[in-house]
Structure 1
Amino acid sequence: MKPQMSRHFSNRKPSAIRLAQIKFAERKDNTKPVNTAIGNVSLPLHPAISERMFNLNKEDSPFKEGVVKYTATVGMEETNQAFLNIIASSGFSTEGLYSQVTNGGSQAMEMVILGVCGDAGSTDHPLLLIDAAYTNYNAMAARVGRRTVSVSRTLGEDGNFSLPSMEEIETVIEKEKPSAMVVIPYDNPTGQFYSLEAMKTLAEICVKHNIWMISDEAYRELFYTKDVTSSIWGVTDKDVPGIEGRRISIETSSKVWNGCGLRIGALVTDRKDFHEKSVAECTADLCSNAIGQYMFGALAHESHDALGKWYESQRNYYSKMLVSLTEEFKELVPGIIVSNPDASLYSVIDVRNVVDENFNAQDFVLFCAREGKVDIKGEELTLLVAPMAGFYSLPEGAPNPGRTQMRIAYVEKPERMALVPALFASLLEQYKQR
């Protein structure tokens, strides 16, 4: 007899964004992966962050003597100022905002769910997502015994995701009584961009139904349209009376700043009591990575003009790849649907028009990870992508659009990303001919 695991652990499966990598690690041949399943960017850190990383023993470094102490749970003051400086650099007021450093955006997500949803194990006051939604919101909610509900978007033949109508959103709110709505203005996984006007419309719904508005701003400034920068911090009481006091944003060093492995994020709110309780909850975790905080804190001293130039350089880098690869996918796989590259660093590809009714994206992803390979200039390669079924929160028995959809992250170096459409086309043919 051996002790049992909890039901939660027994039922837990890897996240859709890590599944391919885990299965590929079990391979024994010499095939190499082009890993677009995870948003693990390959660009170097912002120079100010790098400078601190390479000079931890400088005279003005708190680590010059090799001692790494705990920081305050709320985080280093300089690091919190860095996050506020970043928000301000996009043209938004930070007056009255409270920032708390977290272990990446992930811990901020968990704190949001703990802080606004109903009691553990209760079905009351769930979290409202707009499907397809970042899959880890469902995982975090399950971890802490909370529930999510959703309203769905549809990927059209033209590559546009439809925003659900306000009536659809309100119908779900009135039925499910959620405590908060999550919006990802520069969307993961769809690449859809929520304009500032769209954010204001959603804010009006949150005020009308007295719920929190949570904005995941991991990709703020990564947009490729002619719109202005969008953010929850661009929506004030002047625009939507009553929105202030219910605003929360999730921040991170991972994407715009290329610091995925730093695991530094922030929970920013204009609600003082929420901030204080969130910090109190995190005292059980002691503090976030002290060295990572110090490194990221360098951005507290960067001018808004310098940060603006950094945003522009990142946009130029991603927009070129997004546009060129979208066109190549359509050329190599006639009938494929690729979401329009408006924001963030992802594309959703849908093969519903080029496969039969038995196709399952997760099976295809596992095939690529376990056995698929393509010889390209003498090198055997496979492609890792994320199946999309786990990005939808649907009623039991409802058809899942993710069955034929996959998410591609534009995170490998340009020369490797250039191989992705041809790799995908070849592997899909291999899979179909088995």
Structure 2
Amino acid sequence: MPKISSKGQHMPESPIRKLVPYAEIAKKKGHKVYHLNIGQPDIKTPDVALNAVKNADIKVLEYSHSAGFESYRTKLSAYYKSHGLPIEVADIIITTGGSEALLFAMGSTMDSGDEIIIPEPFYANYNGFSTASGVKVVPVISTIDEGFALPPIAAFEKLITPKTKAILICNPGNPTGYLYSKEEIMQLAEIVKKHDLFLIADEVYREFIYDENDKHFSVMNVPGIEENAIMIDSVSKRYSMCGARIGCIVSKNKEVMATAMKFAQARLSPPTYAQIASEAALDTPQSYFDDVISEYKERRDTLIAELQKIEGVKVATPKGAFYCIAKLPVKSADDFAQWLLETYDNNGETVMVAPAAGFYSTPNVGLDEVRIAYVLKKEDLIRSVAILKEALKVYNQK
């Protein structure tokens, strides 16, 4: 019998999606499942984006340019400049989601066996992208006790080897919701300059900042690292358009962009209808974002307040994105999360969470943690945490 690849065998399962079969079984039993496991917003996609697709007068669904519509890139450049980011049209390649942008970034800057340093916990698919690219993830641990702040720069320096090619951050972070300060970004800028590394910043949650004194600081705003900085972006969360699968890779490094273009040409082009929607979404009024941020801030405050009422639960308050990591009074969050779906219900209802161990690459770390996405309305969040509270009592008595 032919054998599958070693790469395929080592490709990690998604901690976000691996429990889906158990959720499906729970639903077949007639149970209502509150999905706290996945960052799928319930916020309505802007009408301007949906209408652009409905009204598109297309006779032939053609390929687009491999870099994406020029009209879209021009408009996107203007959008970034309006937010203080000095990004030109030539600095942008449109991708099939932020996921493809990350694959292009790794493919353009790293060879098989090279290393990338990532503060953990991190977006679980970074493990998958690295495996697909033949790149080794070298984790540097941030902790819930420190609110998942940037680890000391000395911890990064200890991990740098001749094979180290990049540092990757998510800002604000998935799964922690941590927002890196300007000072922390500047520290990273110094270390990548010193060691001639790339600094890849996944900034897809840039707009989701909740406290008045906090501001997002982009790697594209750091002077002197134009050749080092690569930004990843996406429409998925900003416009509640996860299904569009449109993102972009951004850099002022011409060699990086020319190389990324070769990867873009190899996959031909990003999807046409999704680009039409994404270009139109740039006309979304500011009032939409004001309402969305206000809603998510209330959801965050509600979730954290409810979680803090549960004995034995520890949670770091997120400053951005729409996730938090909660430490639970259990030995195995994986077992608990499966049990919630397979065995437990509270008046016919249960919850689905994402075990956080899958957001680490260090073995046996985060075993008692879960990621919770606060993408449900406040009443559902309150009910979800109430179920979680009762479930923990039952689980720890069994």
Which bracket does the TM-score occupy, shorter chain normalised? Answer: over 0.9
1:362, CA displacement in angstroms? 0.8
TM-score (structure 2 length as normaliser)? 0.94
Residue number among 288, 294, 297 corresponding to 1:316 in the alignment: 294
Residue number among 406, 422, 430 corresponding to 2:370 in the alignment: 406
Distance 2:384 2:220 in 1: 36
The change in CA–CA distance for 1:39 and 1:138 in structure 2 (over 3 A counts) is same
Residue number among 391, 395, 398 corresponding to 1:431 in the alignment: 395
Specify the alignment match of 1:220 in structure 2: 206
Specify the alignment match of 2:254 in structure 1: 272
1:81-230 alignment runs, 5 A limit: 81-95=74-88, 98-118=91-111, 120=112, 122=113, 125-156=114-145, 160-173=147-160, 175=161, 177-225=163-211, 226-230=213-217
Deviation by residue 1:252-285 (Cα, 9 ceiling, x = unmatched): 0111111001011111111122112111112221
| Identical residues among aligned pairs (%) | 28
Distance 1:95 1:414 in 2: 40
Please say if residues 45 and 239 of structure 2, whose CA atoms lie closer than 8 Å, have aligned partners that are also in contact: yes
- Whether 2:275 is the aligned partner of 1:293: answer yes
Specify the alignment match of 1:68 in structure 2: 61
Distance 1:32 1:326 in 2: 23
Please say if residues 348 and 406 of structure 1, whose CA atoms lie closer than 8 Å, have aligned partners that are also in contact: yes
Residue number among 334, 340, 365 corresponding to 2:317 in the alignment: 340
1:32, CA displacement in angstroms? 2.1
TM-score (structure 1 length as normaliser)? 0.86
1:386, CA displacement in angstroms? 0.7
Please say if residues 231 and 250 of structure 2, whose CA atoms lie closer than 8 Å, have aligned partners that are also in contact: yes
The change in CA–CA distance for 1:414 and 1:324 in structure 2 (over 3 A counts) is closer
**Partner SS state of residue 154, structure 2:** helix
Specify the alignment match of 2:308 in structure 1: 330
1:41, CA displacement in angstroms? 1.1
How many corresponding residue pairs? Answer: 396
Q: Indicate the larger mover: 83-92 or 339-348.
A: 83-92
Distance 2:74 2:17 in 1: 32
Distance 2:110 2:322 in 1: 29
The change in CA–CA distance for 1:96 and 1:166 in structure 2 (over 3 A counts) is farther
Please say if residues 303 and 374 of structure 2, whose CA atoms lie closer than 8 Å, have aligned partners that are also in contact: no
**Partner SS state of residue 214, structure 1:** strand
Deviation by residue 1:364-394 (Cα, 9 ceiling, x = unmatched): 111122222111xxxx221111111111122
**Partner SS state of residue 20, structure 2:** helix
1:251, CA displacement in angstroms? 0.6
Matching residue's letter, 1:135: A
Specify the alignment match of 1:240 in structure 2: none
1:44, CA displacement in angstroms? 1.1
| Coordinate RMSD, CA, aligned | 1.9
Please say if residues 177 and 318 of structure 2, whose CA atoms lie closer than 8 Å, have aligned partners that are also in contact: yes
The change in CA–CA distance for 1:405 and 1:82 in structure 2 (over 3 A counts) is farther
Specify the alignment match of 1:9 in structure 2: 8
Distance 1:224 1:267 in 2: 26
Distance 2:29 2:346 in 1: 13
- Whether 2:328 is the aligned partner of 1:361: answer no
Distance 2:281 2:31 in 1: 40
Runs of 4 or more above 6 Å deviation: none
Distance 2:290 2:130 in 1: 35
Please say if residues 252 and 264 of structure 1, whose CA atoms lie closer than 8 Å, have aligned partners that are also in contact: yes
**Partner SS state of residue 406, structure 1:** strand
The change in CA–CA distance for 1:262 and 1:346 in structure 2 (over 3 A counts) is same
**Partner SS state of residue 367, structure 2:** helix
Matching residue's letter, 2:150: L
1:12, CA displacement in angstroms? 4.1
Distance 1:51 1:413 in 2: 25
Structure 2: tracts of 5 or more residues without a match: none
Please say if residues 388 and 403 of structure 1, whose CA atoms lie closer than 8 Å, have aligned partners that are also in contact: yes
**Partner SS state of residue 250, structure 1:** strand
1:399, CA displacement in angstroms? 4.2
Structure 1: tracts of 5 or more residues without a match: 238-242
Matching residue's letter, 1:211: L
1:177, CA displacement in angstroms? 4.1
Distance 1:143 1:69 in 2: 29
1:227, CA displacement in angstroms? 2.2
